[in-house]
Amino acid sequence: MAEPDRLPAAELPPGTVRRVGDWAVGNRGSNDGEDRYFAVSRRCRHQLADLAEGSIDAEGCLVCPWHQSRYDVRTGEMVEGPRGFLGYHGPTPGYTQLVAAYSRILRLRVRRATRAGDDVVLE
């Protein structure tokens, strides 16, 4: 049986996102200081940016590094569409909603990420 995907928990403090194989693994923390780990597939549903290079916003959503689409990491759903496309960054009325609509159907894949000893393990 293959080893589960894992990384040291020390490399994943609250507010960080790391790459583990095909997964973007992060810790969205909480106000009470508790770790809240997540793992989602790495490719943005918009134009395939690497979500392992994204960031976590104040609401605990994963934000794409290219056009700032926002994802609910518990479901993989895009909750806010992109602010631009290709090299353009700015308002895209209609287009933003269209991408968000199809991304509600084509969600990111989600895995459970839990603490096991000194590591965060993907189940």
Query: In terms of Cα–Cα distance, which of 53, 54, 74 is closest to 63?
Result: 54
Is 76 an interacting residue with respect to ligand FES (CB under 6 A)?
Answer: no
Is 73 an interacting residue with respect to ligand FES (CB under 6 A)?
Answer: no
Q: How far is the CB of 55 from ligand FES (least distance, A)?
A: 12
Q: How far from the centroid of its chain's Cα atoms is residue 109's Cα?
A: 10
- Give the total residue count for the chain: 123
Is 82 an interacting residue with respect to ligand FES (CB under 6 A)?
Answer: yes
Q: How far is the CB of 51 from ligand FES (least distance, A)?
A: 8
> x/- contact string, 18-57, with ligand FES (CB under 6 A)?
--------------------------x-xx-x--------
Q: How many CB atoms lie within 10 A of CB 36?
A: 15
Q: Contact with ligand FES (CB under 6 A): which of 12, 24, 28, 67?
A: 67
Q: How far from the centroid of its chain's Cα atoms is residue 21's Cα?
A: 14
Q: What angle do CA 99, 38, 77 make, to 5 degrees?
A: 20
Chain position carrying tokens 């194989």: 21
Q: How far is the CB of 11 from ligand FES (least distance, A)?
A: 24
* H or E, element range at 116: strand 113-116
Q: Contact with ligand FES (CB under 6 A): which of 69, 113, 120, 121?
A: 69
The residues that touch ligand FES, with contacts defined as CB under 6 A, are 44, 46-47, 49, 64, 66-67, 69, 82
